[in-house]
């Protein structure tokens, strides 16, 4: 967890929701009902401008799956899509990012799978009123070496979602969940002047988690090629916990 999620709002709407400025330059290819690792995703970030002045909050696009600055190649190893809240300030891959490069990953909700006797059944976790969830995350910058003499290196910005112990309805599906932050915690998490936010890493906000509902959804989400609003819709389960098939129909 979290290995798939959905974000259906465009950058302009996200900018309005998060009191930010759209900095995606029209490059976002959403909506995305089945976000998979290495996809370009919107994040909310707050940085100090190079010419001084107050911190500026923007919506940016990054690749999901953090690449540490020292990596030889972004393709080495599986994508680092998650970082555990309990160890993020200690692990070399995330330590510096947790201190200096924190962001929010907006989501309609996330998918999780629960084993049944027949198969793993996917579920979708979302706020009860369908509001956007702000998943705590960290980002890193990897510099791609120039392809020819005299050329400049190019940056690759990547991110990982912070996870924590599951609470509420989500705990019945999986033992981990994204660290979702309530609105009043956004500024502290994003503040580039703060190097530590231990109180935010301690546990999810109980009031927010209590409003997250989990619903069974179609196994069609298992295929990363499928991407439509029907993936997020509730389905009916049999007593076994498996969705009905053609031969179960009356």
Q: How confident is the model at residue 119 (pLDDT cuts 50, 70, 90)?
A: confident
**Out of 113-122, 165-174, 175-184, which region has the weakest mean confidence (pLDDT)?**
113-122
| pLDDT over 50 at 247, yes or no | no
Higher-confidence residue of 213 and 202: namely 213
Q: Is 103 a catalytic residue?
A: no
Rounded to whole angstroms, the Cα distance separating 129 from 178 reads 18
Higher-confidence residue of 227 and 238: namely 227
Region 129-146: mean pLDDT is: 94
Q: What is the pLDDT of residues 152-172, one digit of tens each?
A: 888 999 999 999 999 999 999
pLDDT computed for residue 249 by the predictor: 42
What are 87's two structure tokens?
């160890």
pLDDT computed for residue 52 by the predictor: 74
Whether the Cβ atoms of residue 7 and residue 30 lie closer than 8 Å to each other: yes
Of residues 57, 59, 47, the one with CA closest to residue 22: 59
pLDDT computed for residue 58 by the predictor: 97
pLDDT computed for residue 133 by the predictor: 98
What is this structure's pTM? 0.92
Strand, helix or coil for residue 188? helix
Q: How confident is the model at residue 55 (pLDDT cuts 50, 70, 90)?
A: confident
Helix ranges restricted to H, the chain:
11-17, 92-100, 183-190, 198-202, 206-209
Higher-confidence residue of 179 and 249: namely 179
| Average pLDDT of the chain, as a whole number | 91
Rounded to whole angstroms, the Cα distance separating 104 from 139 reads 10
Burial class (CB in 10 A: 0-12, 13-18, 19+), 49: exposed
Q: What is the pLDDT of residues 233-243, one digit of tens each?
A: 999 986 666 66
Region 6-31: mean pLDDT is: 95
Where b means 16+ CB within 10 Å and e means fewer, 1-38 reads: bbebbbbbbbbeebbebbebebbbeeebebebbbbbbe
Measured between alpha carbons, how far is residue 159 from residues 162, 169, 178, 236 in Å? 10, 26, 14, 35
Q: How confident is the model at residue 245 (pLDDT cuts 50, 70, 90)?
A: low
Of residues 178, 208, 212, 4, the one with CA closest to residue 104: 178
Q: What is the pLDDT of residues 81-93, one digit of tens each?
A: 999 999 999 999 9
Q: Is 17 a catalytic residue?
A: no
Rounded to whole angstroms, the Cα distance separating 232 from 239 reads 21
Q: Exactly one of 112, 118, 148, 233 is catalytic; which is it?
A: 112
pLDDT computed for residue 123 by the predictor: 97
Measured between alpha carbons, how far is residue 56 from residues 42, 44, 103 in Å? 16, 10, 13
Task: Tell me the CB-side half-sphere exposure of residue 107, using CA atoms within 13 A.
Answer: 29
Residue 76 CA from chain centroid, whole number = 21
């Amino acid at each position: 967890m979290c290995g798939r999620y959905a974000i259906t709002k465009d950058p302009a709407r996200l900018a309005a929701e998060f009191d930010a400025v759209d900095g995606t330059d029209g490059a976002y290819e959403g909506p995305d009902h089945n976000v998979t690792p290495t996809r370009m995703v919107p994040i909310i970030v707050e940085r100090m401008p190079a010419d001084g002045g107050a911190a500026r909050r923007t919506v940016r696009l990054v690749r999901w799956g953090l690449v540490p600055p020292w990596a030889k190649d972004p393709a080495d190893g599986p994508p680092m899509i998650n970082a555990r809240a309990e160890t993020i300030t200690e692990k070399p891959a995330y330590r510096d990012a947790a201190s200096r490069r924190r962001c929010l990953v907006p989501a309609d909700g996330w998918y999780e799978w629960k084993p049944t006797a027949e198969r793993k059944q996917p579920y979708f976790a979302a706020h009860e009123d369908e509001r956007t969830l702000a998943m705590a995350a960290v980002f890193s910058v990897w510099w791609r070496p120039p392809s020819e003499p005299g050329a400049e290196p190019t940056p690759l910005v990547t991110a990982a979602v912070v996870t924590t112990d599951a609470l509420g309805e989500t705990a019945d599906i999986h033992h981990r969940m994204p660290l979702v932050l309530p609105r009043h915690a956004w500024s502290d998490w994003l503040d580039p002047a703060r190097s530590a936010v231990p109180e935010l890493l301690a546990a999810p906000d109980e009031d927010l988690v209590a409003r997250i509902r989990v619903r069974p959804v179609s196994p069609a989400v298992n295929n990363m090629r499928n991407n439509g609003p029907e993936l997020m819709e509730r389905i009916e389960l049999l007593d076994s916990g498996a969705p009905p098939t053609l031969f179960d129909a009356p």
